[in-house]
Amino acid sequence: MGTYALKKILYGFAVMAGVILVVFVLFNILPGDPARMTLGQRSDVQSLDAVRKEFGLDRSKPVQFFLYLNDLSPLSIHPNLKENEDKYGYQKLFAIGDDALVIKTPYLRRSYQTKRDVTAILSETVPNTFVLALTAMIFATIIGVFLGVVSAVKQGTWIDNAANSFAILGISAPSFFAGIIIAWLFGFVLADYTGLNMSGSLYSYDPFEGEIITWKNLWLPMITLGLRPLAIIVQLTRSAMLDVLAQDYIRTARAKGLSRNAIIYKHALKNALNPVITAISGWFASLLAGSFFVEYIFGYNGLGRTTVTALEMSDFPVVMGSILFIAFVFVVVNILVDLMYAWVDPRVKLS
């Protein structure tokens, strides 16, 4: 198991290295001067040269890539200065001439527009996106499993046909289209009845209470983001339930006179949830990435809206940091899922 885990971790490092290379190349061939984006259009030549030197933009592209890797790596080389250790929290391992090998948190550089560290910007928005993705996954799981069970039990009836039609619609409709329709219908047309807003973030400012959590602003983006996984869970649950209900032990349970609810929820559903659990583990990371347009449509202050806004303003460090964070989440989740599979089924390690 240890060897298998090590292989998966090394594979994860290889994937992240590839993502870093692609992100660096992509955002270094785009037009625009990062130094001018940082200081503004009316900056003088001396200030521009100072910023280019600070970020290593006056060097060749291979050297810039090495400096970028050095900033991102937790184990990196930096000047052997005590004030750097105090300022950035470096933990020096040993000196290498005038430099030192240090352990540090990955440095995602600074925003061109706000001059703030990208890490600080992401730390303010990622929790909001995490709450949105988690609630969307809970919503999709509860409603999806319920509809899937009902559809399987009522196979061939109008309820089954309605659930299947809903699942097909949920898979086919793009999130940005569904978001626009849901925002217009429930946040504008029916706003007097729903009490919901077309846009709004998780936190709002009250003049008397200060910053407060506004849960009603979570409903519409949560439903929009959860529609596609909900539709897939409906189909997976229905298919798995139909297979389980056709098994011999279910017929035996019926012959023993067990109640219908006991057969469905105690015996059949428990054994039909394996593919659903697999889908949930894979979809959570996807929801973090899929929240980009949903957050932008509903004005929800999360990672997706921050990234899209930064892209519109050519704030490339923020965009690069967001992409790398999402890639890191995908890699970690996939490694954990693979290890879980290997722990449950030892045959996986031999494949």
- More confident call, 30 vs 346: 30
pLDDT at site 85: 53
Output the six-digit token pair for 325.
């964070």
Task: State pLDDT tens for residues 7-64.
Answer: 888 988 999 999 999 999 888 776 666 777 767 667 778 777 877 777 777 788 888 8
pLDDT at site 4: 77
Output the six-digit token pair for 242.
């139909």
Q: Which of 19-33, 66-80, 135-149 has the highest mean pLDDT?
A: 135-149
Mean pLDDT (whole number) for 295-310: 88
Mean confidence (pLDDT) of the chain: 82
Using CA atoms, how far apart are residues 22 and 163, in angstroms rounded to an integer?
A: 41
Count helices and strands in the chain by DSSP H and E runs = 16, 5
pLDDT(349) > 60 = no
SS3 115: coil
pLDDT(350) > 60 = no
Angle of helix 61-72 relative to helix 2-28, nearest 10 degrees, comes to 140
Mean pLDDT (whole number) for 170-194: 87
Report residue 83's pLDDT band, with 50, 70 and 90 as the boundaries. Answer: low
Using CA atoms, how far apart are residues 234 and 240, in angstroms rounded to an integer?
A: 10
- More confident call, 50 vs 153: 153
pLDDT(344) > 60 = no
pLDDT at site 251: 78
Report residue 82's pLDDT band, with 50, 70 and 90 as the boundaries. Answer: low
Task: State pLDDT tens for residues 235-248.
Answer: 888 888 888 888 77
Q: Which of 14-18, 72-76, 273-277 has the highest mean pLDDT?
A: 14-18
Least confident of 116-125, 203-212, 218-227: 203-212
Mean pLDDT (whole number) for 262-267: 75
Least confident of 3-17, 149-163, 274-288, 324-338: 274-288
SS3 106: coil
User: DSSP readout, 249-295?
Assistant: HHHHHHHTT--HHIIIIIIIHHHH-HHHHHHHHHHHHHHHHHHHHHH
DSSP element (H, E) containing 192: helix 191-194
Using CA atoms, how far apart are residues 176 and 52, in angstroms rounded to an integer?
A: 38
pLDDT at site 222: 92
The closest of 320, 122, 292, 139 to 229, measured between CA atoms, is: 139
Phi first, then psi: what are they for 315, rounded to 5°?
Answer: -90, 75
pLDDT at site 345: 54
Please name the amino acid found at residue 103.
Answer: I
* Rounded percentage of the chain residues whose pLDDT exceeds 90: 14
pLDDT(341) > 70 = no
pLDDT at site 221: 92
CA 261 to chain centre: 37
pLDDT(111) > 60 = yes
pLDDT at site 22: 92
Using CA atoms, how far apart are residues 240 and 233, in angstroms rounded to an integer?
A: 10
